[in-house]
A and B are shown apart, each in its own frame.
Chain A
Amino acid sequence: MDINSIINSLSPVERKVIPYLKDNISVKEIVSNSNLLEIEVIRALQWLENKKIVKINIDHRSTVKLDKNGILYLSKEIPEKRLLKILKKRSSSIEEFRKFKEFEPEELNYAIGSLKKNGAIIFENKSIKITDKGIALVETNFNEELLLKKIGENTKFLDEFSKIEKLTLEGLKKRTLFVKLDVTKVRNIQLTDLGKSLIKHSSKLKQEFIESLTSSMIISKNYIGKTFRHYDIKGIVPKVFPGKKHFVNETIEYIKRIWLDLGFKEMTGNHIDSCFWNFDALFTPQDHPARDMQDTLFVEGYDNLENSELLKRIKTTHENGWTTGSLGWRYKWDIEQAKKLVARTHTTVLSSRTIANLKKEDIPIKFFAVGKVFRNETLDKTHLFEFYQTEGIVIDKNANFKNLVGYLKTYFSKMGFNQIRLRPAYFPYTEPSLEIDIFHPVHKKWIELGGSGIFRPEVVKPLLGIEIPVLAWGLSVERLITDYYGFTDLRDLYSNDLKKLRSTKVWIK
C-alpha cells in the first residue's frame, strides 16, 4: 500500500496520535502529550500496528505506590521525626510514649530501634535522651521522607529509583502499610520503516476526511468535493450473537414439519401416566421385564382407574384374549399394577390414549407426536434418562405392512437417509414387528433408529371396539441430532453451555 492510501484509511484518532509518535515513547507519554484518553490511544496504536505503522512492545515493569500509612505520613511527618521533636524538648520513656497513643505500637518500636541504631538517641535508666546527632537530625530531611515525597500520589517505576532510594524502599517495605508493590504492563512504541516515512508526510494528515456519513450531510450535499475516509474492511469487528432456538427444538420442528407434510395430526399428552395406558393397554403383560423397577421410573401416587368397560376388556384380553381370537397371556391380571404411575417410557402411550378416544367416523386417520420419554438409566456419554421420541400411527382398514415400509422410508429419506434396513424384532404390542436401521454413510455401519410394527389385535380391539390395522412406530430423535451436529457425548445436547448454544449451526435440511 502506498502512503496516500494509508493516509486515506486513517481514522481521526489515529491521525491525532501520529504527530506524537517517536521511537521508545510510552503510551503514558502519548496520553499526557496529546490529551487523548488512554483507551483511545491504545485503540489507535492497535490499528496502527495492524497497518504495520508501529510495533508495540510490551514490557512488564515493577511499580511502587504509597499505601495507607505512607499517604498518612506524607502529610504528618514520619514517626521517628516526631519522636525526635518530642525528645528535643524533654527526655521521656518507652512507657510514656506508649501511654501517649500518638504512635502505633509497631511504628513506635521501629522508630526507637532505628533512631538508636543511628545514634540519635540513647537510653539512660529507662529514660530516652536525644543526642547531639539527634538534635542535628531534627532539622534535616530523612531518606524515608524524601522517598515518600518522591513517590507522592502517583505510581512510580522501580527502575527509576537511585541505589540509595532503593535501599530506603527496602526499609519501608518492612513497615506496616507504607508502600504497595506491583507489576504493570508498559507499552512502548517502535516506529516501523513505513511509520517513519509516514511521519514525513504528516502535513497530509491535516486534510479533512468524512468519517460517519450523516443524514444532514446527505441533505445538504456537504460531502461533495470531500474524501471519505477509507475503512479497514478486513479488520475484526466485535461479535454479536443472534437469538436462537435450542438446536434440539429446531430439529423437532423439522420432524414435525415432515409428519405435517404427510398429512398427520399432532397428539400431545402428559409425561406422567398410569401403567394402564403405558403398558396394559398396549398388551404388555404385567410381569414383562420392561415393567421392572430397574428399567422404568415410577412416580409417587396412583391413578384411580375407574372400573370401566375398557378396563374389563383389557383385563380379559390379557387373561384369555377376550374376543380377539388370541390365547392371551394366560395369567391373572391385577388392577393394582395398572394403577401405578410412571414417567412415560414411550410416546406410544399417546397412541393408546388416542385410539381409545377415536370415533369410528374419524377413521381413516393418521397421528404423530414428538415428545419426551423416560428410562431409569444412569447418565453417561451414551445414555440419557430422558430423551425424545417421535411417534406415528396410521389407522385405516386397508393399511398394511407395505404401507408401514413406505412411511418409514419416506420419513428417513426426508431426514437425509436413503439407505434403510428393516429388521424383524419383537415388541409385545406389535406384530409383525420391526427395527429400523439406517446405513451411516461416514461410519459405514448400520445404526438402530427405532421400533415399529402393526398393533396387535389384542391392542386395537379392546381400545377401539373393532379390529383394524394400525401401523405404528416410535423413533429415536437424539441419535439423528448428535450425528448432524457431530456430538459424541449425549449429555452435551442438554448441557446448555452458552458458548455452544451460540456457536452451534442451525438445522438445515
Chain B
Amino acid sequence: MDERRLDGNATAGVLAEIFTFEMTTARTACVHCGATGEVGAQMAYVSEIGTVVRCASCNNALIRVARQDDGGRYWLDLRGVKYLQLEEHL
C-alpha cells in the first residue's frame, strides 16, 4: 500500500470535508505525552484507506479519518486527542 508521510497541513482537505473550522491551525493536546501544538505541525500518514495525524513529539495517533469508497460515510477516531482548540476566523 502506498502510504505517504507528510505534514499535518496536508490533511487540510480531508479535515475540511468534516469540520467547518480551519483545522490545520487548530491546537491539539496529545493524550499520550501531553504535547500541544497546531494540527498542521503534527505528522500525517496518508493512504487510500485513510488519514492518520500523529503527534510530532511521541508519534501517538491523534486523529484517524477513514471514508467509505463510494462516499457518504466517514469514521472519525479522536481517542488520541485530549482536546481540540478551534479558532473562529473572520
Q: Do A and B come from one complex?
A: no
Which residues of chain B have a CB within 8 Å of any CB of chain A?
A: none
